Structure 1
Amino acid sequence: MVELLASARAGVRLLSLHGTADLQRADRLLRQVWGTRPGDDPPISLDVMCALAHVGGYIGGAFLDEELVGAAVGFLAADRSLHSHVAGVASRARGLGVGLALKEHQRAWAAERGLVAVSWTFDPLVRRNAYFNLVKLGAKVAEYLPDFYGPMSDGINDGDVSDRLFVTWPVTPDPAPATERAAGPSETAAVTVLDEAGTVRPGGGAPLLRCATPPDIERLRVDEPGEARHWRAALGGVLGAAFADGYRITGFTRSGWYLLARGGTA
């Protein structure tokens, strides 16, 4: 039912993709979303998608007026979850709720197969993704993964360190509203360990921490690559040290701050 509501709100039709023609469409879409240039590695190769579809892996597509505007690819994990490896939405369909519809399609697909959760990774510097994942969806941060994929040349991540947050999203929806579920500790009570200028501050050992994110890391990568690298190193250093010291991300604010507590869960 939730899947149908999400797709209805977005005005899209959600389908599992099969067959070379549809998978080629998904390949083209994901390359466009990532800005993949000739010679770059695609977000996921077409041959892998063909193999996944053939053996029953997850490949979902969102159609708007018969045009494929969203695609997501995932595979089964050993802990009885669906791991969503890549998902993208065409620029013309952003802001319509297509990403939410795809996530609900993944959740429904996982539920039909008796799985317990959906997992994925995301770049902790991308503020809108952090808010969507942690607040709107209510996913929980399980791990901080430094340079998880190693060097990447896919258009979006060229030359950047691939630090990621690994999140899990239960198949059974949390009855609490998203704002309450991800509110976490009071922002005003938290000690700032990375401020809005990208400056690292002392504060380790405080019960509650907060660290900022840049408003638009994607623009910084293009216009001010040195500043983007600074943010990557600063946030990676702060989150890496905090996780190693027993802190966990408990929330994310609309203004772009991660909230952390020692031993907490999102």
Structure 2
Amino acid sequence: MAAEPALVVRDVEGPAAMAACIGLYAEVMGLRPSDGGLNPRLLTALQSNGGIVVAAYEGDGDPTRPVGFAYSFLAREGGGELFQFSQLAVVARHLQGQGVGRLLKHAQRERTLAMGLTRIRWSYDPLKTRNAHFNLDVLGGRVRVLKPSMYGGEGFGDDAGEPTDRFLLDWDLTQPAMVRPGLPERAWRPGECLAHGDDLLIAVPARWDLHRTVVGAAAAAALRTSLRETFIEALTTHVGVSCLRVTDDLAVYRFVPRGTDQEGAS
């Protein structure tokens, strides 16, 4: 059996390479012509002014054939410290779940630390549980805020028609990911919030797209609205630290009390 091709991550250079990354983004996200998108000039401007633009390549590293792409820009909240805000990271469909996303994130981490910064922030849909597990359990990020309709009325591409509620996640680059305790064995229901010691456990569909197809648009919208309120309430006192799949159909978020050792880095 042939070995999988080696992957390399490097800074994206030149308009042709950037255009190839934009093409990958459009393909992975299923963008429609009306959805708008990126352009090489914007990425060049970001990269020239403190931003990070990286891509993953297979084999000989042909710059016109990226298999992963991420970019971020310098940001500051109020008068606080500078950090990188990672606006997107995409991986070619045939390589998803094979470590490309981790390579991209660690490339961003290395470059951010080289700037003397220690934090990367990004947003994600709370109901994309595969992303949630990677962000929280693999990388060790923390969720402290939910932004309802962060990007306006509805998403685009494959997420057309869906609200743009987003968790804001902070990744402290100086702290390792923590191993969390296992989840209690029980019959979970989507939308359920369970107190488990001092922690809060919130069950969500593991595959939102499949759940929406099975229950219908109206029932799915009602559950998303209910979960939005549950998350907002939980985040008044707790921090999101984990998301684990418990069955093929369900995943469970863990929220720990703010200001405790279990919260980890602040």
1:183 aligned residue (156, 180, 183) = 180
Identify the residue that residue 148 of structure 2 maps to in structure 1.
146
In 1, Cα distance between the equivalents of 2:148 and 2:188? Answer: 22
- Shift of residue 199 of structure 1? 4.6
Identity among equivalent pairs (%): 27
Code of the residue aligned with 2:55 in structure 1: it is: G
Q: 1:227 to 1:148 in 2, by over 3 A?
A: same
RMSD: 2.7
Equivalent-residue separation in structure 2 for 1:196 and 1:188 (angstroms): 10
Show CA shifts across 1:46-73 (max 9, x none).
4422321333421110001333000001
8 A contact 2:144–2:238 mirrored in 1 = no
The Cα offsets for residues 189-212 of structure 1, whole Å up to 9 and x where unpaired, read as 9xx9xx8443556x6898332111
Point out the more displaced range, 46-55 or 106-115.
Answer: 46-55
Contact 1:41/1:154, CA 8 A, preserved across alignment: no
Partners of 1:143 and 1:17 lie apart in 2 by 31
Distance, in Å, in 2 between the alignment partners of 1:37 and 1:112 is: 37
Q: Taking structure 1 as reference, are residues 199 and 243 closer, same or farther at Cα in structure 2, changes over 3 Å only?
A: closer
Preserved contact between residue 147 and residue 162 of structure 1 (Cα < 8 Å): yes
- Partner AA of 1:257 in structure 2: V
- Classify 1:45/1:182 alpha carbon distance in 2 versus 1 (closer, same or farther; 3 Å): farther
Match of 1:213, SS state, is strand
Distance between the aligned counterparts of 1:133 and 1:158, measured in 2?
23
Does residue 1:58 correspond to 2:56, yes or no? no
Which residue does 2:202 correspond to in 1? 211
* Aligned residue pairs, count: 245
Runs of 4+ off more than 6 Å: 203-206
2:50/2:74 contact within 8 Å kept: no
| Structure 2 gaps, min length 5 | none
Map 1:94-243 → 2, pairs under 5 A: 94-174=96-176, 178=177, 181-183=178-180, 187-188=183-184, 196-200=188-192, 207-221=198-212, 224-243=216-235
* Contact 1:198–1:230 (CA under 8 A) maintained in structure 2: no
Distance 1:198 1:89 in 2: 28
1: CA distance between counterparts of 2:72 and 2:229? 29
Aligned equivalents of 1:167 and 1:90: distance in 2?
Answer: 23
TM-score normalised by structure 1 residue count: 0.81
What secondary structure, in the 3-state scheme, does the structure 2 residue paired with 1:18 have?
A: coil
Q: Does the C-alpha gap of structure 1 residues 182 and 240 become closer, same or farther in structure 2, counting only changes over 3 Å?
A: farther
Deviation at 1:173, TM superposition (A): 4.3
Q: CA 1:39–1:243 in 2, change beyond 3 Å: closer, same or farther?
A: same
TM-fit CA distance, 1:217: 0.9
The range that moved more, 97-106 or 55-64, is 55-64
Q: Is the Cα contact below 8 Å between 2:56 and 2:69 reproduced in 1?
A: yes
